[in-house]
Amino acid sequence: MLATAEALGRLLDAARRVDGRERVDTLDALDRVLAADVTSPLDVPPMHTSSMDGYAVRAADLAGATDDASVALPVSQRIPAGHAAEPLAAGTAARIFTGATVPPGADTVVMQEMAQVADDGRVAFAQTPAAGEWITRQGADIRRDSVILPAGTRLTPQALGLAASVGCAQLDVVRKVRVAIFFTGDELRMPGEPLEPGAIYNSNRFTLRALLAKLGCEVTDLGIVPDRLDTTRETLRRAAIEHDLILTCGGVSVGEEDHVKPAVEAEGRISMWQIAMKPGKPLAFGAVRRGASDGEAYFIGLPGNPVSSFCTFLLFVRPFLLRLAGVEHVAPRVHSMRADFSQKKGDRRNEFLRARVNEAGGLDLFENQSSAVLTSTVWGDGLIDNPPNHAISDGEIVRFIPFSELMR
C-alpha cells in the first residue's frame, strides 16, 4: 500500500491542465480558474483622492495655525465624488468628500472634524497639517501594467471585485473539467424507491454529485451500473468519450463482485491501487482509452463505504480536479489544534478522524469512526490527520483539516 503523501504526489504529477478556454462575463466567473494573467490597464485609484470628508488645502497656507491663532480660508469650490476638480486657488480651501478627486495644487486634506465653519462661510483651521494627510495617492492600490491576478487563480468574490476595479468586463477562464460518474452495486436504490431485503439507498450519488458541483465541474451522471464485468466495461468506454475524468464509486476492492478494477485494466490501465489510509484503502487511479488515436480519460475509483468515498474525494479527487482546472496551489491549510480526548491505540495506516471544534477551542472525537457512519461527517467540522501507529493523548496538539478547507 502507498503512503498517502506518495499517492497524492503521484496523482498530482499525472494531472495536466485541460485544453480549452472560454471568455465569460466577470459577473458570472465565480469559482472559475483564470486561463491568462489579468493585467491592469490603469492605476487604481486613477487620480489622487480624498480618504475623508473635509477640506483640501495647501499645507503652506495653514502654516502657524494653532488653537490660539487659527487660520481662516474662503471655500473656493465643492468637490463631491465623481465630479471634476478645478485647480485650487492659493489661499483657499475646497470642500471635498470621501473618494473625490483632490484638486491640482492641494497637497493635503483636513478632516471636517478639525475645521470650524464661520458665519461668513470661511473655514477656520486650528492646526497646521502635514503635507499628504488623508490623501490616497494615484496608483496606491494598483499600478498600471501590473499583474493583479495570475493565471491559475481560482476566482473568489474578492478576486472578481479586483478584476472589476480595473475595468475587466470579461475574463479568460479554463473550460470546466468534464467528469463522468457512475456507481456500482446491485444493492443500491434511489430515494423514493422501495427497499427490498439487502438493499440500501445510494447516498454516495448525492454526496459526490454535490462535491463535484461545488468544484464547478461539468458532470455526466451515468447512474447505477449492474455488478457485471461486461456492463462495467461498456460503461467505461462510453464514459471515456469527451470526458476528462471517469469517477466511480464501489467495486474497486478484491471481491468476486468487484468488477471495476478488472474492467479498467481491460479498457486501459491501473497505475495505482490501495492507499495506506483509514478510511479509504481501496482507491484506484489509472486511465481508460478513448480509442485508437483519441488519447485517454483519467480514472479514479473510490470505495463504496460512504465515509471512505467522502474522505478520499476530499483528500485526493479534489486536488486532482483543481490541478486539471489549472489551479497551482491545491493543498488545504492545516491547523494545529488541541485534542480534548485520548485514543490509546493508533492504526497501522494513516487515519483521518472525524472531529469537531468544541467551545473551549479544542477538538472532540466522534465516538464511532466506522467508514459506514455518515453521521460523523455531518457532526464533524473536519478531519484529524493522524500518522500511522500513533496514539493520541488528551491535550496533545494534532493536525486538523477543516471541511471548509477541503471543499473550497
Residue 390 lies in a domain: yes
* pLDDT on residue 297: 97
Does 124 lie in the same domain as 27? no
Does 366 lie in the same domain as 396? yes
Does 254 lie in the same domain as 196? yes
Would the pLDDT of 78 be above 70? yes
Domain boundary among 263, 296, 324: 324
Distance, CA of 156 to CA of 32 (rounded, Å): 8
Query: What confidence category does residue 134 fall into, taking pLDDT thresholds of 50, 70 and 90?
Result: very high
Residue 265 lies in a domain: yes
pLDDT in tens, 185-211: 889 999 999 999 999 999 999 999 999
Would the pLDDT of 255 be above 70? no
Query: What confidence category does residue 253 fall into, taking pLDDT thresholds of 50, 70 and 90?
Result: low
Give the number of domains in the chain.
Answer: 4
* pLDDT on residue 292: 66
Residue 93 lies in a domain: yes
Does 274 lie in the same domain as 183? yes
Does 98 lie in the same domain as 55? yes
Residue 209 lies in a domain: yes
Residue 220 lies in a domain: yes
- Between the alpha carbon of residue 233 and those of residues 36, 237, 256, 299, 355, the distances in Å are 38, 6, 16, 13, 39
pLDDT in tens, 3-57: 999 999 999 999 999 999 999 999 999 999 999 999 999 999 999 999 999 999 9
Does 229 lie in the same domain as 373? no
Which position has the higher pLDDT, 54 or 121? 54
Domain boundary among 324, 343, 363: 324
- The enclosing domain of 225 has a CATH number of 3.40.980.10
With residue 247 as reference, give the H or E element that holds it.
Answer: strand 245-249
Does 160 lie in the same domain as 129? no
Would the pLDDT of 293 be above 70? no
Distance, CA of 23 to CA of 171 (rounded, Å): 6
Residue 53 lies in a domain: yes
- The enclosing domain of 381 has a CATH number of 2.40.340.10
Residue 329 lies in a domain: no
Residue 330 lies in a domain: no
* pLDDT on residue 68: 83
- Between the alpha carbon of residue 394 and those of residues 153, 335, 348, 350, the distances in Å are 40, 17, 20, 19
Please enumerate in sequence order all residues whose Cβ is within 8 A of that of 245, keeping only pairs 6 or more positions apart, or say none. Answer: 177, 178, 179, 180, 297, 298, 299, 300, 320, 321, 324
Could you tell me which of 252, 375, 377, 382 has the C-alpha nearest to residue 310? 377
Does 193 lie in the same domain as 127? no
Does 216 lie in the same domain as 149? no
pLDDT in tens, 162-185: 999 999 999 999 999 999 999 998
Does 287 lie in the same domain as 223? yes
Does 114 lie in the same domain as 149? no
Report percent pLDDT > 70 for the chain: 98
Domain boundary among 149, 174, 199: 174
* pLDDT on residue 256: 54
Would the pLDDT of 294 be above 90? no
* pLDDT on residue 273: 87
The rounded mean pLDDT for the chain is 95
Would the pLDDT of 254 be above 60? no
Does 164 lie in the same domain as 108? no
Residue 101 is part of which domain span? 49-136
| In 20-143, beta strands by DSSP E | 21-25, 38-39, 49-50, 54-57, 71-73, 75-79, 93-96, 108-111, 115-117, 123-125, 135-136
Would the pLDDT of 119 be above 90? no
Would the pLDDT of 314 be above 80? yes
Would the pLDDT of 257 be above 70? no
- The enclosing domain of 80 has a CATH number of 2.170.190.11
Would the pLDDT of 324 be above 60? yes
